[in-house]
Chains A and B, each alone.
Chain A
Amino acid sequence: MTAAVLTRVRRLPRLRPGRLGATVAGTVLAVAVLACLLAPVLWPLDQSAIDLSQTRLAPSAAHPAGTDDLGRDVLLRSIYGLRVSLLVGVFAALVAAVIGGAVGALAGTLGGWVDRILMRLVDTIAAMPHLLLGIFIVAMLRPSLGAVVLSVGLTHWLSTARIVRSELLSLRHRPFIDAAVSGGAGRMRVLTRHLLPHVLPRLALATTLMIPHAVWHETALSFLGLGLPPHLASLGNMINDGRGSLLAGAWWASLTPGLVLIVVTLALAALTAHWRDHLDPRVRAELQL
């Protein structure tokens, strides 16, 4: 392929929030995180409590987002759901970062046939619908918190591996690496003291960009009944539970958890994109969104 075509293929459209957008996103995220942190102190929730005298109440002063078919407050459960989703998202993104970082570092530093085999593996796994793969993993491990984290982690490390590898490849031929090698530094020393410090910011960025994707994946699994245990307030579980209420006319049971999910993940994505643009304007992130 000619170079001109190649650059056009690689470039993917991405979110470019301005200063105002980033401020709004930051405020939304701060409120959400604060609510998640304070919820257990201010409004304790008994996950298994139901109140059958309060089922499917429309939004009111007492229940700002209404109640679901088991008489549970939708807004409060949405906050707890967001807590779980963000927690799963962060841990799963970390798992993905460890796997992707290790594969990318192996491919980028060893090069040669190791690089070729690993990158082919990455390409092929990228061709597998990751939701199907995630479903398979969860089904075989039995749905649970750990299985969900593992399912997301095992399906979302590909872009991280690619980023780390390409970063290492471009660093390998810089003069300061040549200087370190001619100064007598061994392979391990070059890797740990010279290469890794340059890769870490990109790795951290890729990990943060992965959190919204991890949250969506977790929510999708929970929605299908393959995620977190059904009694636990999680955004996906709540949207799934709300399907019954929806057909009974109580549209609010699925509405609030969905809106919370959309607003928070959008804010997270916008803030990370802002950070990416200001971290290193030269570098093009390969992740979409």
Chain B
Amino acid sequence: MTAPTRARRRRRTGAGRMIRNRLLVAVPVLFATSAGMFALGAASPIDPAQQYAGAAAFTTSEENLAQIRANWGIDDPLPVQYLRWLGNLLRGDLGWSTSRHEPVADVLAARAGWTLLLVGAALVVVLLASLLLGTLAAYRRGGWFDRALRTTAYAIQSVPSFWLGLAAIALFALSLGWLPAGGLTDITATSTDVADVARHLILPVGVLAVSQLPWFVLFIRDSVADSLRDDHVLAARARGLPGRTVLFGHALRTGLLPFLTLIGTHLPELVGGAVLVETVFSLPGLGAVTVQAALGSDFPLLAATTLATTVVVLAANLGTDLAYAAADPRVRLE
């Protein structure tokens, strides 16, 4: 091992400075966002105590409701409530879900894994498919494959993912009977079997991937088409390298760099798609639970899922930017 060169050391401190600057910005903005969300929750016309009691609110005595309010401190001044909520969040206490009657942290722990699995699998499919299809289209740009691919991509961009999901259920589950229409396991199953779960995930992952594919395919196609005109690609071709080597080894490699940024900026879309796909396929993930919480006006759970996903996405953005800088020596970290 040689000692790190000066250039490498500078890059490392640059990365540290970038992380610090991002945190300096992200923390106050997250505070502002949480305050905004809290204000919206406070302005909501829904009484959490009555909502907690549900149908029993009609028979619950006024004293009991008042007791619930006192326990939760609902009648305290808003700034006091906000600071208490924030303090609890920072201490890791996410609160009590009023619609599911269990701690928010338990709900997140039980559900987050399925959503991560869905989003992660869809992301892998999207990356593989878009790299392959986009590169092929760029290689023969203007040809029939390129034109057909672009037309399809633009058409899919305006297809809502939930409608695509219903269409997939109608075709593959109901007409052809190849795959299950929803759920995570067979109704008759007594335990979660890996093969069974995988079979149930094919359609949701496929639908989520296809609905997000257009942006990635078009991006790769344009990116590779651009770099095919670059000097170093021309030089590689002039040296007589085989077409496949030039395409994948030279053109795709340079075209791949900006792709990292796209993945980072497109994650929020992917999460939004997961919410819809989970609802369509009745999957027990975070998205489905968020929708149920919204239908039940469950502020603690909703606020926790929204803030948690934001933190994850911000961290992923930072990760892709760092990866970009690590992969491209021309990029200087500011």
Contact = CB atoms under 8 A, between A and B. Distances in A.
A128 B29 contact: no
Interface string A122-137: 0011111111110111
B294 A135 contact: yes
B276 A9 contact: no
Nearest to A138: B294
Contacts of B219: 12-13
A94 interface: no
A255 B236 CA distance: 50
A15 interface: yes
Interface in A221-257: 223-226, 239, 242-243, 246-247, 249, 251, 254
A5 interface: yes
Interface stretch (A39-47, A61-69, A72-80, A261-269): A261-269
Given A13-B218, A127-B310, A131-B272, A224 B166 contact: no
B159 A262 contact: yes
B222 interface: yes
Contacts of B313: 127-129
A62 to B, nearest CB: 24
Interface string A170-200: 0000000000000000000000000000000
Given A5-B257, A246-B170, A261 B163 contact: yes
Contact of B332 (A1, A124, A129): A1
A13 B221 contact: yes
A284 interface: no
Bin chain A's interface residue count.
35 or more
A139 B297 contact: yes
B291 A135 contact: yes
A272 interface: no
A135 B290 contact: yes
B163 A254 contact: yes
Given A136-B294, A140-B297, A224-B276, A128 B159 contact: no
Interface in B284-331: 290-291, 293-295, 297-299, 302-303, 305-306, 309-310, 313-314, 317, 328, 330-331
A181 B88 CA distance: 53
B158 A124 contact: no
Interface stretch (A50-58, A103-111, A202-210, A212-220): A212-220
A87 interface: no
A261 B46 CA distance: 33
B58 to A, nearest CB: 20
Interface in A135-168: 135-142
Interface stretch (B5-13, B35-43, B74-82, B186-194): B35-43
A125 B160 CA distance: 22
A129 B268 contact: yes
Interface string B269-282: 10110011001100
Nearest to B298: A139
B89 interface: no
A266 B26 contact: no
B46 A136 contact: no
Nearest to A269: B158
Nearest to A132: B306
B155 interface: yes
Contacts of B302: 135-136, 139-140
A4 B279 CA distance: 43
A265 B158 contact: yes
Interface string B258-271: 10010001001101
A141 B39 CA distance: 11
Interface string B208-231: 000000010011011100100000
B44 interface: yes
Given A140-B44, A224-B276, A239 B306 contact: no
A2 interface: yes
Contact of A140 (B160, B166, B257, B299): B299
A5 B41 CA distance: 43
A289 interface: yes
A104 to B, nearest CB: 18
A124 B30 contact: yes
Nearest to A1: B331
A83 B167 CA distance: 24
Given A8-B223, A220-B276, A239-B163, A126 B157 contact: no
Nearest to B299: A140
Contacts of B44: 140-142
B178 interface: no
B52 interface: no
B169 interface: yes
Contacts of A125: 33
A133 B226 CA distance: 36
A132 B166 contact: no
Contacts of A243: 166, 280
B139 interface: no
Q: Which 6 A-B pairs have the closest CB atoms?
A: A131-B272, A13-B218, A139-B294, A258-B163, A129-B271, A129-B268
